[in-house]
Chains A and B, each alone.
Chain A
Amino acid sequence: MLHHVLFIIFGMICVAGAINLVAQRHPINSALSLVVVMGSLAMIYLLLGAEFLAAIQVIVYAGAIMVLFVFVIMLLNAGEEERTQGNHFALWLGAPAVATLAGMLMWIVFRNDPHKTVALGNMLGSPDNTHGLANLLFTKYLLPFEITSVLILIAIMGAVVLSKKEG
């Protein structure tokens, strides 16, 4: 019961934040709306029993990546966006695309048994999220994990090369 109430509350905050993100004209308001979305997503992860994922979501996305967004907006001192008349192409293609995507998601959700519940935390096969996740990452998914780290390393090198160019 409490789970459902909390899920609906945070789900609504999440959707409201996402809509606000698009509707706001000032970049910093949009960035902060995205922080709200990240935060409420973390709460939904928590409700699903994935507390480690929730904490990492807050630390990495809300706490690090979005701070950089805000930092860049502050540094560039970006002003309010001009509102244009809107792109007809985006409107005619975007609206049906959103409707299709929403329909597909609904179909997938309702096709399954509504009484069947999925707890993210239980899928790890360990009562302690952190241990379960670590075990999976370093045994079954070791190769993808390592390849991702190489990808991140390349991104870091790219950043260093780009920043070296100027000076």
Chain B
Amino acid sequence: MNNTTIFIIVAVVKIALVAFILLTGVAYMTWLERKVVGHIQNRWGPTRVGPFGLLQPLADGVKFILKEDLVPDRVHKGLYILAPGLALTMSLVAIAVIPFGNAVHGIPGEGAAGSALQITGMVQDGSIGDINIGLLIILGATSIGVYGVALAGWSSNSKYALLGSLRASAQMISYELALGLSLVGVLILSGTLSLRGIVDGQISGHPWLGFLPHWYIFPQLIAFFIYLMSAYAETNRIPFDLPEAETELVAGYHTEYSAMKFAMFFMAEYINMITVGCIATLLFFGGWHGPALPFLPPLLQSLLPIFWFSVKIFVFMFVYIWIRGTLPRFRYDQLMAFGWKFLLPLAIANIIITGLIVALRG
């Protein structure tokens, strides 16, 4: 086999593997969410299907596939069908540029050394390269994802769906600014837009104050909280889930969707949550960097980076659920005021201060 064939095979295997793990993760996040929120509210959550209700996601999946796929009368049919696909596709595109670890060795991959743990990463001459604008691609994909929500509401020909999608697009455009600007502080510190480069900068840097790891969370604590809050708004999660506020809008932009089309919106939302966790981990928490555990056998040692990466993402997912179980919803004007009058100026101030400090230090 020549190199191109091997490259294509490795790429397909990587895509299949990531998609499988991701979608399983999404399925079990719904289980976790129902369990945790249940316990927060002094309930049990799902218990019937399988031990601890562990087969519940499977049952839900089967239900989504087998349910009748209703298309309401007088919808704008093309866009109605396009919208959930667009939302899901864009959430998957964002995952493609995320690095999960260094490289796996011993697999006949792109280079002699092995294959990079990233769909779009390549091993060349022993070093791993990835897209040098990885972060921008994620931002681009999420900004295109807004169309999925906007078109879903508009094409459904329903007032609740339209109001939901108007709210959603206004909210997502507004918080995209604060989100993008909150990441600039980290970019000033790292000097690169490559996600792998940002993580490498955190792993190789000197410890802060001599004992803290060189993670950008410590100098960029404010930016991290701005990022987290705007990311919650971007993913339409509580306390910013105005687009699907069920007391006012039935279910918001996906009111008219059923069966698998609804499930696609659902999956897109959860994949976006995972992406948010990935970006937060990569930019602020050192990515796959974690304490070395020298007592483990070599095989487990090589899996350690992925383990740390997953642990960090799990923590973010847990916080998402925790907040959902704890906080009430914002009012719409509060939401807008919070984004424009508080988060945005704070993010700009953070950029100026970070830039000043970096400039003064030379």
CB within 8 Å of B: which residues of A? Answer: 28, 32, 35, 39, 51-52, 55-56, 58-59, 62-64, 67-68, 70-71, 74-75, 128-130
B146, A59: Cβ atoms closer than 8 Å: no
Could you list 24 A-B pairs, sorted by A, with CB under 8 Å?
A28-B154, A32-B147, A39-B144, A52-B136, A55-B136, A56-B136, A59-B139, A59-B143, A62-B140, A62-B143, A63-B146, A67-B147, A67-B150, A68-B173, A70-B147, A71-B150, A71-B166, A74-B150, A74-B153, A74-B165, A74-B166, A74-B169, A75-B166, A128-B132
Q: Considering only CB atoms, which chain B residue lies closest to A77 in the complex?
A: B162
Known: A51-B133, A128-B132. A67 touches B166 (CB 8 A): no
Q: Considering only CB atoms, which chain B residue lies closest to A70 in the complex?
A: B150
Min CB distance B360 to A, Å, is: 17
Min CB distance B167 to A, Å, is: 11
A51, B79: Cβ atoms closer than 8 Å: no
Chain A positions within 8 Å of B166 at CB level? 71, 74-75
B136, A67: Cβ atoms closer than 8 Å: no
Chain A positions within 8 Å of B151 at CB level? 28, 32, 70
A70 to B166, CA, bound (A): 10
B170, A63: Cβ atoms closer than 8 Å: no
Known: A62-B143, A67-B146, A130-B132. A55 touches B137 (CB 8 A): yes
Chain B positions within 8 Å of A63 at CB level? 139-140, 142-144, 146, 176
Min CB distance A29 to B, Å, is: 8
B169, A28: Cβ atoms closer than 8 Å: no
Instruction: Judge if B222 is at the interface, Cβ distance under 8 Å.
Output: no
B79, A28: Cβ atoms closer than 8 Å: yes
Instruction: Judge if B193 is at the interface, Cβ distance under 8 Å.
Output: yes
B143, A129: Cβ atoms closer than 8 Å: no
Q: Considering only CB atoms, which chain A residue lies closest to B146 in the complex?
A: A67
A130 to B143, CA, bound (A): 20
A64, B173: Cβ atoms closer than 8 Å: yes
Chain B positions within 8 Å of A75 at CB level? 166
Q: Considering only CB atoms, which chain A residue lies closest to B187 in the complex?
A: A130
- From the candidates A35, A51, A64, name the one contacting B131 in the complex (CB within 8 A): A51
B143, A64: Cβ atoms closer than 8 Å: yes
Chain B positions within 8 Å of A39 at CB level? 144
A51 to B133, CA, bound (A): 7
A58 to B176, CA, bound (A): 14
Min CB distance B343 to A, Å, is: 17
A69 to B308, CA, bound (A): 43
Min CB distance B87 to A, Å, is: 14
Q: Considering only CB atoms, which chain A residue lies closest to B145 in the complex?
A: A63
Known: A67-B146, A70-B147, A74-B150. A59 touches B132 (CB 8 A): no
Min CB distance B176 to A, Å, is: 7
Min CB distance A149 to B, Å, is: 13
A67, B169: Cβ atoms closer than 8 Å: yes
Known: A28-B79, A71-B166, A74-B150. A51 touches B132 (CB 8 A): yes
- From the candidates B76, B133, B169, B176, name the one contacting A52 in the complex (CB within 8 A): B133
Q: Considering only CB atoms, which chain A residue lies closest to B172 in the complex?
A: A67
Complex interface bits, B27-43 against A, C-beta within 8 A gives 1, otherwise 0: 00000000000000000
Min CB distance B181 to A, Å, is: 13
A59 to B193, CA, bound (A): 15
Q: Considering only CB atoms, which chain A residue lies closest to B165 in the complex?
A: A74
Chain A positions within 8 Å of B132 at CB level? 51, 128-130
B79, A55: Cβ atoms closer than 8 Å: no
A52 to B169, CA, bound (A): 25
A22 to B137, CA, bound (A): 29
Min CB distance B17 to A, Å, is: 26
- From the candidates B143, B162, B170, B193, name the one contacting A58 in the complex (CB within 8 A): B143
Chain B positions within 8 Å of A130 at CB level? 132-133, 193
Chain B positions within 8 Å of A71 at CB level? 150, 166, 169-170, 173
Q: Which 6 A-B pairs have the closest CB atoms?
A: A63-B143, A55-B136, A58-B140, A74-B154, A59-B140, A55-B133
Chain B positions within 8 Å of A74 at CB level? 150, 153-154, 162, 165-166, 169
